[in-house]
Amino acid sequence: MTPDQRRAIEQDCARLIALYANRNDAARWHEVAMLYAPEGRMARPTAPDEWIEGRDAILAAFLARPPRATRHVCSNIVIDVLSPVEAVGESAMLLFTGDPAPKVGSFHDRFILTGEGWRFAERRGSLLF
């Protein structure tokens, strides 16, 4: 793999993280779910050991949420390319909600290249405070 190919994968996966935050904040749940591979899985930062598996189940979990205003700020994004079709990443997350204090945590991601492009195979959140 050339350095340019590696950088392209890193950029595509970093963009996926930003799309996830923006679509989540806009409550565009169908579009959020489509960022996952069909068999992808997610664990929310508030429940990092409770996996929600499959794109349909992820969509149902988002649709079941009560409405709320949020703003996710993601930074310190580091993507490690494992192969031409797989990468992992970590990013810091700051979540502003209607709660008095913001929540600070991180996401650990696994990405795979699908026929639809790069998608989350796995997204696991955790809270620091």
Question: Which residues on neighbouring strands pair with residue 47, listed in sequence order?
Answer: none
What is the overall mean pLDDT for the chain?
95
Whether pLDDT at 100 is above 90: no
Q: Which pLDDT tens digit goes with each residue over 60-96?
A: 999 999 988 899 999 999 999 999 999 999 999 999 9
Q: Which residues of 117-127 are buried (b: 16+ CB within 10 A; e: fewer)?
A: ebbbbbbbbbe
The ranges assigned to domains in the chain are: 3-127
Query: Given this structure, which CATH class describes domain 3-127?
Result: alpha beta
Question: Which pLDDT score is estimated for 63?
Answer: 97
Q: Which pLDDT tens digit goes with each residue over 16-44?
A: 999 999 999 999 999 999 999 999 999 99
Per the CB < 8 A criterion, the answer to whether 41 and 54 are in contact is yes
Whether pLDDT at 58 is above 80: yes
Whether pLDDT at 99 is above 80: no
Distance CA 118, CA 48 (A): 23
* Confidence label for 10 from pLDDT (cuts 50, 70 and 90): very high
Question: Which pLDDT score is estimated for 101?
Answer: 81
Residue (of 92, 95, 91, 90) closest to 72 by Cα position: 95
